[in-house]
Amino acid sequence: MSLRIRLARGGAKKRPFYRIVIADSRCPRDGKFIEKVGIYDPMLPRDNENRIVLKDERIKYWLGVGATPTDRVHRFLATAGLTGERAIPNQTTKAEPGAKAKERLREAEEAAKAAAEAAAAAEAEAAAPAEG
C-alpha cells in the first residue's frame, strides 16, 4: 500500500478548504483517507496563523513509515521545517516555442546583430574621411 500525504478538497464552490490527509494513493482525492493531519485554508491571508495548521508529530510518524507528500504538501512541510529541502515541482515546457521557432529567433537575432555591425562600420567609414 502506497501512502500519500495530500490535500482533500472541501468547502463550497469558489470557496475551497483543504484537509491534509494520509491516504492510499489509489483512493479518490476526496474519498477515503486514513488520518487527517492538518488543514489548509487558501481563503485566509498569507500571514494568518490559521492558514496552514499541521500536526507535527503525526506527520513525522507518517513520513517515517514511508508516506510521500505531494508537491504542494511538500512545500507546506518544508516551510514548517518538517522536511529537509524545499520541493521544486517539475515545470511544464508546453508554453515554450518549438525547435523551428527557436531556430528562426536565433537567425533573426544574428541578422539584427550583423545589421548593427554593418551600420556601425558604415558610420565609422563616413566619419573617417571627414577628419582627414
Q: Which three cell numbers stand for residue 42?
A: 487558501
Residue 67 to residue 58: CA distance in whole angstroms: 11
pLDDT < 70 regions, the chain: 86-90, 129-132
User: What do you get for the CA distance between the two ends of the chain, in Å?
Assistant: 87
What pLDDT, on a 0 to 100 scale, did the predictor assign at position 129?
67
**Contact between 48 and 35 (Cβ < 8 Å):** no
- Which alpha helices (DSSP H) does the chain contain, by range? 56-65, 71-80, 99-131
